[in-house]
Amino acid sequence: MPIQVWVSILSLVGVALGGGLSYLVQASVQRRADRVDQRRQAHERAEARRVERLELLREFIRVAQQAERAAEDRDGTAAGKASALDVLDGLWVCERMIHVLFAPPLHALAREYVRALDHVVWQEPEGVSLWDYLQKPKVAFLAAAREELSG
């Protein structure tokens, strides 16, 4: 009888050890899979944010170009003023979105560029061409945007 008891006890111990090891391996594999999944999700979120930021910059540059065109084509008519207001509204919206999605230094440069555009849409810059007046804030913004996206 004692041999049968020992065999049964050893058998139970073997089953318990096997089950415990199996559980530990499965838990370890699950943790690794969870970590891989979390990294993948983080990468996907980062890529989605990058695409969102790139689209915002593209829209900002497009609307800024429209504002430059509105400044060049300024005619003083009610329709011209309404069109310029629409363009500037879109530009200010983009500027605020840059404030939300980008670091403060880029937002400050975007704001400076928008203010310069706003100024030239409504009045002729004194003593300098429109292009020269906008060159410094535009180039500073574009350089900072490139740096922000590459960093």
Provide the residue type at 112 as one letter.
E
Burial class (CB within 10 angstroms; exposed 0-12, middle 13-18, buried 19+) of 44: exposed
The pTM for the full model equals 0.77
pLDDT less than 50: residues of the chain? none
- CA 67 to CA 87: how far, in whole Å? 6
Domain with residues 2-150, CATH architecture: Up-down Bundle (1.20)
Helix (H, G, I), strand (E, B), or coil: what is residue 124? coil
pLDDT per position as a tens digit, 44-83: 998 999 999 999 999 999 999 999 999 998 887 888 899 9
Burial class (CB within 10 angstroms; exposed 0-12, middle 13-18, buried 19+) of 90: middle
- Segments making up each domain of the chain, as ranges: 2-150
Residue corresponding to tokens 């370890």: 28
Q: Are 149 and 128 in contact (CB under 8 A)?
A: no
Q: Tokens for 54, please give them.
A: 């790139």
Residue corresponding to tokens 């879109």: 90
Predicted confidence at residue 1, as pLDDT, reads: 60
